[in-house]
Amino acid sequence: MKKKSVQTCLIHSDYTPPGGFGAFSPGIHHASTVLFENVAAMRSSQWKDKSGYTYGLHGTPTTFTLEARLAAIEGGSHCLLAPSGLAAIAMIDFALLKSGDDVLLPDNVYNPNRELGRWLSQDFGVTARFYDPMIGDGIAQLFQPNTKLVWAEAPGSVSMEVADLPAICRAAKAHGVLVALDNTWAAGLALRGFDVGADIVMHALTKYQSGGADLLMGAVITRERALNDRLAQAHMRLGYGVGADDAWLVMRGLPTMKLRFEAHDASARRVAAWLKARPEIAKVLHPAFEDCPGHATWKRDFSGAGGLFSVVFDARYTQAQIDAFVDALALFGIGYSWGGPNSLVMPYSMKAMRSRWDDAGLLVRLNIGLEDSGELIADLEQALARLA
Ligand SMILES: *Cc1c(COP(=O)(O)O)cnc(C)c1O
């Protein structure tokens, strides 16, 4: 071929780096187009088959590597990445539900999951019904012939009730209904979803896996190939992709995740114990504390707790007073999410979020970050003084 012009040289290079490069950090592969060796290779390629590559959307070495590492944490065999935790939830619903089907969700479910259920009910001919998270094996009474999926989550990420997951999964299995577990709170560390009987385990990697409060991603993990294939079909049809840099950032977070989780856990228990002794606080909704519904279930099934818990204030405090307490905190940012290094605080209006909520006092959720717990307690103490 003729010598290439500068313009073409800017695009085509003959250089190939030597093979055999080894490093702990996996490479970051950016790609929409994936190149095929020849036409025959293109024709025989299968997007579903992770032994090869077809298009950036269906995976690169970076995303395949992250998927394998995430599946291993849960003891699963297959993993699909989604652009956010909520996108992972939507992938599961769209893969497994069709018009005429019924889905059950716990009344304390992650609120956007509830919103998606309502949308499916309103516009897609699916019925979404909400069950008492403490129902246990009583869920068997709710199954209809068209019930296809049960969502489970423990604890609820605001109200913190710990559901009896083994009982819910056993009842579902007996009725041939699939269980999808949102295991974001336990991160596959304090509880492994397949051990309690879930068929599908979903994570918001946005939280502990990332650990940086700087990206959004979700994962859907399964053990059975046929179930993974149904999910993968929805993944393809919905066009879910994740950026290579974000996938790499999650992998960078994984080696320290367990240590971070344990540090969050120890610090959160210290802060929660301090709050428990305060006269302003009516209840500490932390699964390791007896105030928390499902505490005994947590003790039986979980090995840890992480950094997230809620408190219910004494009923004498008004919303304006609670808001002033939240505003007075200096080390706690006012914001959604959790699992990052920074402590966060969020007041919730439970009566608006739940079909039934009996506590008269107002609820505030705390995410205990990685700051010094003594300094967090001092911050809470000065903010509580505003309530006097
Ligand atoms: C944050 C969260 C999600 C959603 O994750 P995003 O990445 O923010 O969409 C889902 N479930 C639970 C329990 C969560 O905490």
Distance 287 CA to ligand 1 centre (A): 19
pLDDT of residue 93: 98
How much is the pTM? Answer: 0.96
Atom 8, ligand 1: residue with shortest CA distance: 85
CB atoms within 10 A of CB 300: 11
* Mean pLDDT computed over 246-251: 98
Q: Give yes or no: residues 138 and 235 share one domain.
A: yes
Q: Give yes or no: residues 157 and 305 share one domain.
A: no
**Strand pairing category for 281-285 and 308-313:** antiparallel
Selection from 175, 177, 229, 174 nearest residue 199 by Cα: 177
d(CA 219, CA 10): 37
* Mean pLDDT computed over 110-117: 96
Instruction: Answer whether residue 312 is part of any domain.
Output: yes
Range of the domain at 340: 257-387
CATH code where residue 327 lies: 3.90.1150.10
Q: Give yes or no: residues 134 and 269 share one domain.
A: no
Span 41-80, pLDDT tens digits: 999 998 888 889 999 999 999 999 999 999 999 999 999 9
Give the chain's domain count. Answer: 2
pLDDT of residue 102: 98
Q: Give yes or no: residues 241 and 324 share one domain.
A: no
Tokens 């947590």 sit on residue: 298
pLDDT more than 70, % of the chain: 100
Q: Give yes or no: residues 199 and 284 share one domain.
A: no
Q: Give yes or no: residues 241 and 325 share one domain.
A: no
Angle at 371 between CA 365 and CA 375, to 5 degrees: 85
pLDDT of residue 359: 82
Q: Give yes or no: residues 218 and 314 share one domain.
A: no
Q: With cut-offs at 50, 70 and 90, classify the pLDDT of residue 34.
A: very high
Q: Which of 105, 160, 207 to mutate to test the pocket of ligand 1 (most atoms within 8 A of CB)?
A: 207
Q: With cut-offs at 50, 70 and 90, classify the pLDDT of residue 355.
A: confident
Give the pair of three-digit tokens for residue 329: 């905190």
Pick from 231, 255, 279: which residue ends a domain? 255
If 0-12 CB within 10 Å is exposed, 13-18 middle and 19+ buried, where does residue 57 land?
A: middle
Distance 19 CA to ligand 1 centre (A): 40
Pick from 203, 223, 255: which residue ends a domain? 255
pLDDT of residue 1: 64
| Closest approach atom of ligand 1 to CA 217 | 7
Instruction: Answer whether residue 269 is part of any domain.
Output: yes
Selection from 251, 212, 235, 253 nearest residue 83 by Cα: 235
Under 8 Å between Cβ of 214 and 341: no
Instruction: Answer whether residue 29 is part of any domain.
Output: no
Pick from 255, 276, 299: which residue ends a domain? 255
Read off the amino acid at residue 174: A
CATH code where residue 173 lies: 3.40.640.10
Worst-scoring range by mean pLDDT, 131-145, 237-251, 351-365? 351-365
Give the pair of three-digit tokens for residue 262: 């344990």
Residue 371 is given by DSSP the state: S
Distance 218 CA to ligand 1 centre (A): 8
Q: Give yes or no: residues 63 and 207 share one domain.
A: yes
Under 8 Å between Cβ of 47 and 55: yes
Q: With cut-offs at 50, 70 and 90, classify the pLDDT of residue 21.
A: very high
pLDDT of residue 3: 86
Q: Which of 70, 84, 93, 110 to mutate to test the pocket of ligand 1 (most atoms within 8 A of CB)?
A: 110
